[in-house]
Amino acid sequence: MPNPTTPRSLQALRFLGGFAWFLIAIVLSAHAASGITTRLNLPSFEPILEQAFLLFLLTVGFSLPYGINRPGVLRSVNALPQRSTDREELLRGTALGWAMLLVALLPMMLTGALHPQFSFSLQTLGQTLLSVLTIALATLALEIAFRGCLFIRLIAVLGPVGATTLLSFLYALLSTFRPNATPLSFVITFLTGILFSIAYLRTHALWLGWGIHFGWNAAMAILFGLPIAGNADSISLISTDVSGHTWLTGGPYGPEAAAFTALVLLAAMPVLYRISRDYEWAYTHPPIIAAGYEVTIAPPAAHTATETAAAPAPLVQILGSTPTAASTLPVIDEHLRNDHEPRS
């Protein structure tokens, strides 16, 4: 989290610089991956290399202003803390993303709009595994960019609601440059950005949001062979053709341009809120630290008097049988003198 004493103007400059670096990193990673795979004649490895380079450039570039050599700075700046529930959050998010896609595809299944074809071979299986890894890297890179460092900086400037709205808008705006994008796909991508932002705000980490993002994309491309936001480059054992109205299927853009998907995203938000209750309690509330001035209150006078009255009597020292000093009573002194005088 940003230092609360850092001025908002400086946080805003860091956000703008980070967003500019994100756009530069996209170009650099695509150029580097294309050059390497072309020289080595390995075109099938270009997507995974591009996402690996992008992930590296983002994590390192975002961390440089905060001292990359400091222990744990890469994780803290990019909202990937190591904690006891990180794997649990990732798996829970993946399950939610997978379930969301199944519900989103129900209208297509019931109307017979999906026409899957199966193609199994060892080569296809290897390419499928490569596609899964590519999706994992790509979704993590997007989460770091839009719900990690930049989101944290923007929260310090605009607050959670303003930061969520602005970054979700930018996230949706960039999606309009994808092939076959539609106005409906813009709205759905905006809602998706809000959902992923809620995942961060509830956990102060990317594990849950990354899991949802990965589960959604992997199920869409690998289990059903559908395009991811207009990108049909992922290779799977299943390839699916769709038929019917574009508002129902999303057309060539995929389910992220289908009207029913918007309803699924809205319904997923309270579900996400519920499954993240424990994480919200454990990771978003600041610890209670005792503070203030030391105060010593004197006891009441009556209480002090009671304690004094009940105090035990002082110890009495027993002297020898022969007194060394005169008594204070004249009768006793006379008796003692008579006892010590010699008798005739």
- Segment 57-79, tens digit of pLDDT: 999 999 988 877 777 888 989 99
User: What's the pLDDT at 268?
Assistant: 97
Q: For residue 265, what are the domain limits?
A: 82-283
Whether 245 shows a pLDDT value over 70: the answer reads yes
d(CA 248, CA 264): 13
Q: State the pLDDT confidence band at 252, using cuts at 50, 70 and 90.
A: very high
Q: What would the mean pLDDT of 197-211 be, rounded to a whole number?
A: 96
CA contacts within 13 A on the Cβ side of 314: 3
Does residue 209 form part of some domain? yes
Does residue 273 form part of some domain? yes
Give percent of the chain with pLDDT exceeding 90.
Answer: 64
Q: What would the mean pLDDT of 157-174 be, rounded to a whole number?
A: 95
The residue type found at 211 is: G
CA contacts within 13 A on the Cβ side of 259: 5
Going by C-alpha positions, the residue among 88, 98, 105, 129 that lies closest to residue 236 is 129
Does residue 138 form part of some domain? yes
Does residue 169 form part of some domain? yes
The pTM for the full model equals: 0.81
Does residue 103 form part of some domain? yes
Helical residues (DSSP H) of 204-258, grouped into ranges: 207-218, 246-249
> For 295-338, what is each residue's pLDDT tens digit?
666 777 776 777 777 666 666 555 555 555 555 556 666 665 66
User: What's the pLDDT at 333?
Assistant: 61
Does residue 22 form part of some domain? no
Neighbours of 136 (CB within 10 A): 18
Q: State the pLDDT confidence band at 240, using cuts at 50, 70 and 90.
A: confident
Does residue 137 form part of some domain? yes
Stretch among 109-123, 124-138, 320-334 having the lowest mean pLDDT: 320-334
Domain count, the chain: 1
Does residue 42 form part of some domain? no
